[in-house]
Structure 1
Amino acid sequence: MDRALKMVYYDDAKVERDIFAQLSLALRHFRGVGMPRDEVATRKILDQIHRQSRAFAAICYGFMRSKGIGVAEDLGEGDQWYREAAYWFREEALGGEGISANNLGYLYAKGLGVPENSETAAGWFEQAAENGSVSALYNLGVCYLNGWGVPQDDELAVDFLRRASDANDPSAASVLAYLYLEGRGVKRDPSKSFEYNLRAARAGSVEAASALGYALGVGLGAERNIAESISWFEMAANEGDTYAQANLAMYFCHSPDLKLFNRGWTMLMNACDQGDISAKYQMTQILIFGVAHREPDYAAALDLAMDLAELGHPGGYHLIGVMYEHGLGVPVDMSRAASWYERAARKGSSNGQAALGRLYAIGIGVDQDNIMAYYWLRMSAPSSNSQAYREMEAVRARMKDGDRKKADRYVNDNPAPRRGSFGLKSLEKDVFKTGKRSV
């Protein structure tokens, strides 16, 4: 099951906390992943969870044992503690406690201390929702979105998520933001997506704060605002969000200030060493295009881009296409460029879609085709002031009425490529550009 599901508790201020998001943050503090190593911060998080109840204490011990936090790693003993947590959650759930029923469903979804069973998990989420658990409404929405233990149903997923969001669940608002951006279960609306992300971020969603940084950086659903973009990225980065850290580092790397550049470059290097795919993507862009304090290195860039491509990252496909189109470290080869752009486009990369549409519009690397040009440019969902939008409008203007109708039918019959099952932390965020350089 995907990690988008959540188990919750309420802290001393009665604020809902996602327990495994908090435990993962404690682990990052303990290992120094994406942030300085800080055992005091680790201990503070674990202590807060431990004192909630016997069930939560058992979850805490299970995680510590499974990950080797302050104790020897022992998966078997970790699972024993998860079994104890399941016992206490079950006792409380049978007594009508909605949160405990939700958390027991989570354990079945993940197979922690109990056999993994998506149908059983969904059943406990339903019971939890009936007993007033807002988190269970969210979890049911995610289940229907992915068809986990229930029939896949986007519209029913949206209904559950809206009910949770209306009850001030930030995770539900964050998912609705994603759905409005993708046009899944709802009509695509980037501005509505931005509104839901803003609601979620203000309520404490790290994922939404990172998404706002991206949206404000590229002008998606709101006017482009670099200062606000940096502010939201910093908020998410301080909570250990590696995507936000990678993009924040990208801003710093484009600064003419050498100190800021060095700070950003160090952040990127550290994130790359930890295997963060967003950081590798950003590093590849710098190595291709260069910045004030770093010359291009095409050989290193191609190696990194190929690594990204092997991982199935759409940005890697797109950047390889860029290198072949412009002869950056490789011979100019428009057919190869078009092939890489198409792979990126079909993986949902907006930059790949825009690049492929442009090639169809001018007939280089592919046969000239206004309908395919319009389709891919439109799939890139360009903002109204972007180059891709102007190219899309130019293609449509030169079409005859019959071709415009064919293009509209093709768009309706071929919706934008999806990116697989939904998961908050596994969303593939496409190319982030600071505006300093574009190709």
Structure 2
Amino acid sequence: MKAVFAGLFLTTFMASTTAYAADAATDIAAIPSGEWLALPGDVLRKRLNLPQRCGEFDAAAQAGVARAQTVMSSAILNRVCGTYSVEVGEDLARKAHASGDLRALVLQGNILALKGDKAGAYRIYSSPRLAQVPIAMSAIATAAYWGEGRTVDRQLAREYWANAAALGDFSAMTQLAWMIMSDPIGKRDLNRAEQLFSRSARNGHLEGMASYGSVLVSGAFGESRKAEGIGLLRQAADLGNARGTSELGRVLIYGLGMAKDIPQGLALMKKGGDLGDRGALNELGIIYRDGVIVSRDRTLAVSYFQRAAKAGDPWAYRNLHHEYGRATASPEERAQAMIMLEKAVALGDREALNDMGVAYELGKLVPTSLGTAFDYYRRAAAQGSVSGHVNLARMYDFGIHVARNPAAAESEYKLAIAAGSPTAAKSLSDMRQRLASEAQAARALPATTQRSAGLSGPPNAYDIRAALMREWATAVLGPMAQVNYDQGFTSNGFWNTGMHSAYAVANPTCSAQGKGLYRCTYKLWVTNTVYVFGSPMKSPGKAGVTETATFNVQGGVWRSPSARSVALAHARQSAAMQRSTGDDERTRRENQKRFYCPGNGANPLDTQAFC
């Protein structure tokens, strides 16, 4: 075998390798089989005092000791001993496996994954010989979680990590703790998560140290423990852990528990990304995209997103979707925008499901389909997406695609509130106010709730109310109008603006004007509410006002040509209110133009009202 460390050691040191090899072989043999097949590589290397004893274990590997060959393969591939070489690491792992070491078989799977053959790696991890090997179980869980070599299955990942953790695998303990931390707030067992993080970190697992440190710095286990978390991050970073390095950089960038040092923080985050932390690469993309901490650099931001996505980060795919979907993006980028989002969905990202819903609801890069949007929101909510719960609640709240269902909306809003969403809390409060407003309008005068017997005679109160609502909806909402005549209200549910109107009509008297045209006088009660970015405003309403308008049957329903101009005037009033409120004028105008102005399939009346 080619000596891995030729030229690295003094002649006097090399002369004694036989004795050192014997010592190394003895130390390896002393490790119980259960621990040998459960300990993460960094813990094992620490127990064997690497890199200080690299020479001894290299000599033992050359002498044919299978476990030493496995150790050296892992040490070379992790840049702990010697010169990094996939070929040398693979050769050592193959020889160790041939000698019967199951840990080396798992390592061969890791090498295949490193070379890009995720499916081949998964076949090794799931082989019957490794069925009860903790490090293989943990590898299966990782593959199932990220969809590497197989389909995404988060529940299967959780089960395998739980089983591996029970058998003493510290890597599995760390990952299981993260899954617990991502549970909905009401179901989150913080004590269990901390026990797992702590045990993994105490036993020298670098990923456990970095993870525990980052959670402590976040304040999840108490604001007073941030210094403890920073200490763990420093330890992990000093030992070359990617997450520990980038998380320490984040602490310095944002001043989390210590003074800010943005240049040093960025340097550490970039180092962590280079060491393999895909989350750090994605965050660097966000930093350069937003231009708050550093000067905005879209080219560099996209480059970081691409690197993170290539490494399998679903959030990076979502960020690429948003970047490529911008109006200023190149045609080539826009063609890739939905592909990026689909890849995030394939990786099991619940927020990508929500973003899919937004795309189909607004018709952004795909044809508008409220049914498809509803299905994506429902899937996102089922997987715990807070945004998914909020958007699903909004569709129930305003009756978008489905029948209006305040009870279902309240249930979804409450689930989002339990997860800490202030938007959901505000939306639930607004919905309750609207329901109370509708009830008050209904009590003002009992409106006729039955349609007239036919369409040949004069319209009754119900028909007049429905006709007025149709004109209001057409003028204000265009093709997105959601009208429920039996409930006496009309509304829309755009994510950035919403409008709601409750109607009551009474005491109509009508006279025929010829050719199915009727002129009617009636009393009208209207309660209108306009929503801009979730904030409700009362627009001009009416309380028992006597009005006169003409009505006839068009397309099998009652319409009111003379009420059309009144409705359009109301639309303009509402638009003026929207334009005059809020503190982000630029964002509001951009959103209004995007959804309401020519070139975006806008209704002509929308164009007059909003552009």
Q: Could you tell me which amino acid in structure 1 is paired with residue 144 of structure 2?
A: Y
The answer for unaligned runs of 5 or more in structure 2 is 1-26, 82-86, 370-418, 422-611
Matched, 1:348 2:312: yes
Distance verdict in 2 for CA 1:327–1:153, change over 3 Å: closer
Matched, 1:154 2:140: no
CA distance in structure 1 between the partners assigned to 2:202 and 2:59 by the alignment: 33
DSSP-derived class of the 2:288 partner = helix
Q: Could you tell me which amino acid in structure 2 is paired with residue 280 of structure 1?
A: T
Distance verdict in 2 for CA 1:273–1:360, change over 3 Å: same
Residue 139 of structure 1, CA deviation: 4.0
Aligned to 1:270: 235
DSSP-derived class of the 1:16 partner = helix
CA distance in structure 1 between the partners assigned to 2:218 and 2:71 by the alignment: 44
- The answer to whether the 8 Å contact 1:216/1:226 transfers is yes
Aligned to 1:380: 344
Tell me which protein shows more strand as a share of its residues.
Answer: 2
Give the alignment's Cα RMSD to 1 decimal: 4.6
CA displacement, residues 278-298 of structure 1 (integer Å, 9 cap, x when unaligned): 11211222333444x446543
DSSP-derived class of the 1:348 partner = coil
TM-score if structure 1 supplies the norm length?
Answer: 0.59
Aligned to 1:18: 36
- The answer to whether the 8 Å contact 2:35/2:168 transfers is no
Residue 231 of structure 1, CA deviation: 2.9
Residue 259 of structure 1, CA deviation: 3.2
Q: Could you tell me which amino acid in structure 2 is paired with residue 246 of structure 1?
A: A
- The answer to whether the 8 Å contact 2:106/2:125 transfers is yes
Matched, 1:357 2:321: yes
Give matches, 1:37-56, under 5 Å.
none
CA distance in structure 1 between the partners assigned to 2:91 and 2:348 by the alignment: 44
CA distance in structure 2 between the partners assigned to 1:227 and 1:383 by the alignment: 29
How many residue pairs get matched?
Answer: 329
Q: 1:325 aligns with which of 266, 284, 289?
A: 289
Q: 2:359 aligns with which of 387, 390, 395?
A: 395
Q: Could you tell me which amino acid in structure 2 is paired with residue 279 of structure 1?
A: G
CA displacement, residues 348-401 of structure 1 (integer Å, 9 cap, x when unaligned): 223322222222334456659666333323333489895443112222453239
DSSP-derived class of the 1:187 partner = coil
Q: 1:216 aligns with which of 160, 170, 180?
A: 180
TM-score if structure 2 supplies the norm length?
Answer: 0.44
Q: Could you tell me which amino acid in structure 2 is paired with residue 352 of structure 1?
A: A
CA displacement, residues 255-296 of structure 1 (integer Å, 9 cap, x when unaligned): 2955311211222233333433211211222333444x4465
Greater RCO, CA 8 A, separation 6+: 1
Distance verdict in 2 for CA 1:273–1:16, change over 3 Å: closer
Residue 104 of structure 1, CA deviation: 8.1
Give matches, 1:75-224, under 5 Å.
75=55, 79-82=58-61, 86=64, 103=67, 106=70, 122=94, 125=97, 128=100, 136=102, 139-140=104-105, 142-143=107-108, 146=111, 154=119, 158=123, 161-166=126-131, 168-219=132-183
Distance verdict in 2 for CA 1:363–1:312, change over 3 Å: farther
Matched, 1:280 2:245: yes
Q: Could you tell me which amino acid in structure 2 is paired with residue 234 of structure 1?
A: S
Distance verdict in 2 for CA 1:436–1:235, change over 3 Å: farther
Higher-Rg member (1/2): 2
CA distance in structure 1 between the partners assigned to 2:124 and 2:226 by the alignment: 46
Distance verdict in 2 for CA 1:436–1:379, change over 3 Å: farther
